Amino acid sequence: MAVAVNATAADTPGYVRIARRYLWCGFAALAVGGLLAMLIRFQWAYPGRPVPLWGKALTPAGYQSVFTLHGLTMIFFAVTPLLIGAMGTLLVPSMVGAGRLAFPRLASVAWWLFLLSELTAFASCFVELGAPGNGWTMYPPLSTKVESPGPGQTVMLVAMLLWVVSSVMTAVNLLTTLIRGRANGLGWMRLPLTAWGLFLTSLLTALFLPVLGVAAGLLFADRELGTSYFAARTGNPLLYQHLFWIFGHPEVYILILPVWGVVGDFVAFFSRKPAFWYRGTVYAMCAITAMSGLVYAHHMFVAGIGPMLGRSFMILTLLISLPGEVMFLNWLLTLWRGSIRLDSPMLFALGTMIVFGIGGLSGLYLGAIATDIPLHDTMFVVGHFHLTMAAATFLGTFGAIYFWFPKLYGRQLNETLAKVHFWLTAPLLLLVFGGQLLAGYMGQPRRLFDPYVYEFLHRVKVVNHGTTMFAFVLGAAQLVFVWNLIATLRRPATAVDNPWRVGTLEWTTRAVPGGEAAPALVVRRGPHELSNPEVLAATGRDYIGQAE
């Protein structure tokens, strides 16, 4: 059976419409966060100079607000809606054959809350004294009334609380759909790896985002209700750091697990062979998920925690890399002797593997106490974080958008422009964030308004100038994607039913407009049934659908 192209709004399932809304919210935040990144890069290269097209120079307070908003926007309002809101809402019902989300009304409420949280966060720029300027982590005492006296920080905390509630709603919806909505015969070991990534991400979201809600709520109470949970004398500012990173490190995996699933599926689809040791990849992803909450304090090696506690977290941090290596080796062995097709989603998957591998290796230095102490709060941390969280995540996200865009709008994005987008984006990401690793290794602290007030940092100027130029070109390269998106949406909905010739349910079963899957759907095999000689002889195709 073929997938009907959604030509009219009436034929479009409700979960697809909600996924589209998340997609555009994510694109809007990505544009804002990208422009803020350009301001940061300009400041590092030319501190104190007027910004082109704006005519004004950033002030120290303005710079603090810019990098704070950049981090918050990218993590909470760009990556999250694109990967989990859009891709999760679109793929989970169709990949499991449910035909709809378990709680359609809850999905709608979650999206409205997310939109409200995003607008509230941006509104913090327009209140008296402006947006918060204490970093995306919002550590007290910098985020208390004394150090951040304006209402901007309070407005941002309200946005965070709304975001937490929305995200937990979405996670519960996706979890219920995956657990209770699977088609007959679709056991756990027949799920696509993308579905596994979204399942594990939703599990972590439901468990750990409430911890961020508690931290934000207590900080709000300190600011507005006169409590002193995080006050320097009567409370404990370090308590906030513990609460934040109990959420914050699982958040790394919340954002990257769907990308790992996407990469695992894509290397199989475009190598035209089953994923190597599928179960091993699933077990590795589950092991990382289970350990993700046990490694958080490596962010706090210089915060004054006890040496024995620090050593325990160092060992756990290094151990969590082992299942990651298993997963990475499985990707490589899937590629080995495969009939590789370098379509745009595959290119983005390969790019994700490369930048994530480099970012992961740089993380080993930050997981060990002896090397983390001199590198902590330097640009090395920024480069590592951006390679793993920005470069890998966004390359994987773009690959997913190119692959599943026909499911969103019944149109396929132009392949030539998609490949141009990749070849402009992936190398520049490595140059920009690799330059940050180098600047950090040369001793540049992060978050400095003007690093060159220190004479020993004058030697870093050439690195910052180079990476700034690369960043500007990287930003301009995204216009290729924008043009591709606009031009594609202006065309009629004429995408073929299964453009990538794969067998997962979202491509090979028909969605009924009423919201149910095709009747009598029975899943008979796994998601990577590719290049089977018997199938080729019987059907003339090198793939077979999971329900055929």
* pLDDT tens digits in sequence order for the chain, 548 residues long: 333 344 445 578 899 999 999 999 999 999 999 999 999 999 999 998 999 888 899 999 999 999 999 999 999 999 999 999 999 999 999 999 998 999 999 999 999 999 999 999 999 999 999 999 999 999 999 999 989 999 999 999 999 999 999 999 999 999 999 999 999 999 999 999 999 999 999 999 999 999 999 999 999 999 999 999 998 888 899 999 999 999 999 999 999 999 999 999 999 999 999 999 999 999 999 999 999 999 999 999 999 888 888 999 999 999 999 999 999 999 999 999 999 999 999 999 999 999 999 999 999 999 999 999 999 999 999 999 999 989 999 999 999 999 999 999 999 999 999 999 999 999 999 999 999 999 999 999 999 999 999 999 999 999 999 999 999 999 999 999 999 999 999 999 888 889 999 999 999 886 655 555 555 689 999 999 999 999 999 999 999 999 99
Q: How far is CA 236 from the centre of its chain?
A: 31
Backbone torsions φ then ψ of 530, nearest 5 degrees: -130, 145
Which amino acid, residue 493? Answer: A
CA distances from 248 to 143, 221, 241, 265, 274 (A): 17, 21, 9, 27, 34
The DSSP output letter for 274 is P
Angstrom distance (rounded) from CA 302 to CA 339 = 49
Beta bridge partners of 383: none
**In contact, 127 and 238? CB cutoff 8 Å:** no
Q: Which two tokens stand for residue 54?
A: 């704006």
Q: What is the CA radius of gyration of the chain?
A: 23
Residues in the chain: 548
Reference 518, options 8, 95, 14, 97; nearest CA is: 97
Residues 6+ apart with CB under 8 A from 340: 270, 271, 272, 346
- Taken in order of first residue, the domains within the chain and their CATH numbers are 14-539 (1.20.210.10)
Which amino acid, residue 184? Answer: N
The residue written with tokens 């035909």 in the block is: 99
SS3 annotation, 464-525 = HHHHHHHHHHHHHHHHHHHHHHHHHHCCCCCCCCCCCCCCCHHHHCCCCCCCCCCCCCECCC
